[in-house]
Amino acid sequence: MNDSGPSRDAAPAAPGRLWGVGLGPGDPELVTVKAARLVREADVVAYHSARHGRSIARGVAEPYLRGDQVEEPLIYPVTTETTDHPGGYRGAIDDFYAVCAERLAAHLDAGRDVVVLCEGDPLFYGSYMHLHKRLAHRYPTEVVPGVTSMSGAAAALGRPLVEGEEALTVLPGTLPPDVLAERLAATGSAAILKLGRTFPAVREALDRAGRLGEAWYVERASTDRQRIAPLAEVDPAEVPYFSIAVIPSRAGASLTRTTEPGDTVSPGTGAHAGAAGASAPEAAHGKAVRGEVIVVGLGPGGRSWLTPEAQDALATADDLVGYGPYLDRVPPNPRQRRHPTDNRAEAERAAHALEMARSGARVAVVSSGDPGVFAMASAVLEVACEPRFAGVRVRVVPGLTAAQAVAARAGAPLGHDYCVLSLSDRLKPWEVIAGRVTAAARADLVLAIYNPASRSRTWQVGAARDLLLEHRAPDTPVVVGRDVGGPGESLRVTTLAKLDPADVDMRCLLVVGSSTTRIAERDGRPVVFTPRRYPA
């Protein structure tokens, strides 16, 4: 096995610097000059996100990213849902932050400067503080403040929060309604954060405190999705987490706003939601664990076809194992070790990954497309069932498979029953393949054919075509997709009779239609689809 990446035994470099960088409430133009500079100069950019993979903080910072930096997405394990973690919700979150801190510490130990992106201000109800507590005593650290959600909401309202001798009380919406009502009744101005699911209780507390008529609702302040309304008029079902309740200064109650409450306002170029400071988890996948193998589907093409779950598995891995060209599709991260192998060394690759996991490493085995479709999941599980690996956890993360990608580019040829076959006879005899092709043809199934040819295996495409022609009409539609999702993507629609084996290579996937599959012209190109209704 050839390893690449830093040696675990390398002498430590001078430590890098940790920066907790506040980005403001959502508008990229509200990012401070210092924050923008640090984001641009950082070696490593870390940011929290939910299971869906979209990070509000990264979206705000995107104009300032260089494009060649190491990114560390920190994907929350749970939000408020139940968890099987022995320590419950708090235990799962504590473990999550411990693992995140360990990941960032690996970069800091190697001398790389790390910027942690934070909506709003890093130390105002922000998730960054949990990393700060674990790392600031070990590394040079600096916090860069940002515009808070309260300031963004006050600016959107055009009303001061406090004036003269007034006092401002900041409250989390997660307080019990009776406690919240008591504190609201005893204060002047107030800002209530952490809304979303807590909104009904917050509204009840405002009403009980006699303050409901003074309260304003601001959603996604400073972004192009900003919404402002009297809080009493807001539908609880429409309240996201990134919103805030404000009781502004009574002294400024006569000020005139330039926009009417309830309007959607576009004050700047911000394209992402953000109620600053409110960077608590939204959702994510599983609890943080060590010593496991995750078989990860990369999909057939670029980053846009990589699922958030797969992105999380790749980001949190210590070691990456896989066929060299597939590993090359994963952006390099100097914190990780990479172990490229030959495409035919599947069993050896699986054993290597399992051995590392048994020693405590978190190992991602990468696979193009979906790892469970003619790929690495079966190979890893087969080796994992050996007694020596009985205690090693194996998890499979699905990916978009090539058949789905080619079908989507062509239209919807897999719209009815279909089967998936591989023409490779490296692991099964041709007689078995031929029998299955014939059976699928007799059953009038659409066929998605993987591995139709290779440099040393060229005759099977013609043989399979001839078998199909015994049961299919010559004008049966055939889609030839090559490198779909990659830089050399091409798609060609032909017929079974005209299918030329010389046009098919190892990077192709074939979709052979059934008797009901149709070709239609739309927007100047052929569209292939199989109707969902089968004739009686």
Question: Which domains occur in the chain, in start order?
Answer: 18-146 (3.40.1010.10), 150-265 (3.30.950.10), 292-399 (3.40.1010.10), 403-529 (3.30.950.10)
Of the candidates 275, 308, 523, the one whose C-alpha atom is nearest the C-alpha of residue 398 is 308
Q: Of all residues in the chain, what percent carry a pLDDT higher than 70?
A: 89
**pLDDT at site 282:** 32
Render pLDDT for 457-471 as a digit per residue (tens, 0 to 9): 889 999 999 999 999
Q: Which of 64-78, 263-277, 410-424 has the lowest mean pLDDT?
A: 263-277
The DSSP 8-state label assigned to residue 534 in this structure reads P
What is the separation of C-alpha 464 from the centre of its chain, rounded to a whole number of angstroms?
Answer: 39
**pLDDT at site 393:** 95
- What is the average per-residue pLDDT within 41-70? 92
Confidence of residue 409 (pLDDT cuts 50, 70, 90): very high
**pLDDT at site 13:** 67
The whole-angstrom separation of Cα 225 and Cα 204 is: 26
pLDDT at 268 over 60: no
Render pLDDT for 158-209 as a digit per residue (tens, 0 to 9): 999 999 999 999 999 999 999 999 999 999 999 999 999 999 999 999 999 9
- What is the average per-residue pLDDT within 264-286? 33
**pLDDT at site 252:** 61
Residues 18/104, Cβ–Cβ less than 8 Å: yes
pLDDT at 289 over 50: no
- What is the average per-residue pLDDT within 424-444? 94
The whole-angstrom separation of Cα 187 and Cα 168 is: 7
Task: Name the pTM for this structure.
Answer: 0.74
Total residue count of the chain as it appears in this document: 536
Render pLDDT for 119-132 as a digit per residue (tens, 0 to 9): 999 999 989 999 99
pLDDT at 381 over 50: yes
Tokens of 1: 């096995």
Amino acid (one-letter) located at 32: T
pLDDT at 266 over 60: no
Which sign, positive or negative, has the C-alpha torsion 98, 100, 102, 104? negative
Angle at 516 between CA 462 and CA 510, to 5 degrees: 35
Of the candidates 168, 166, 164, the one whose C-alpha atom is nearest the C-alpha of residue 150 is 168
The whole-angstrom separation of Cα 530 and Cα 82 is: 42
Q: Of all residues in the chain, what percent carry a pLDDT higher than 90?
A: 76
pLDDT at 500 over 60: yes
- What is the average per-residue pLDDT within 502-524? 93
- What is the average per-residue pLDDT within 25-51? 95
pLDDT at 2 over 60: no
Tokens of 498: 């005209």
**pLDDT at site 286:** 38
What is the separation of C-alpha 521 from the centre of its chain, rounded to a whole number of angstroms?
Answer: 36
**pLDDT at site 454:** 84
Confidence of residue 309 (pLDDT cuts 50, 70, 90): very high
pLDDT at 521 over 60: yes
The whole-angstrom separation of Cα 293 and Cα 354 is: 7
pLDDT at 284 over 70: no
The whole-angstrom separation of Cα 47 and Cα 477 is: 47
**pLDDT at site 455:** 80
Task: Write the CB contacts of 311 (distance below 8 Å, at least 6 apart in sequence).
Answer: 53, 73, 75
Confidence of residue 281 (pLDDT cuts 50, 70, 90): very low
Render pLDDT for 321-331 as a digit per residue (tens, 0 to 9): 999 999 999 99
Of the candidates 116, 119, 112, the one whose C-alpha atom is nearest the C-alpha of residue 100 is 116
Of the candidates 320, 321, 520, the one whose C-alpha atom is nearest the C-alpha of residue 412 is 520
pLDDT at 383 over 80: yes
**pLDDT at site 411:** 96
- What is the average per-residue pLDDT within 89-109? 91
Tokens of 383: 């080796």
Confidence of residue 9 (pLDDT cuts 50, 70, 90): low
- What is the average per-residue pLDDT within 134-153? 96
pLDDT at 528 over 70: yes
Strand partners, 480: 492, 510
Quote the mean pLDDT of the chain: 88
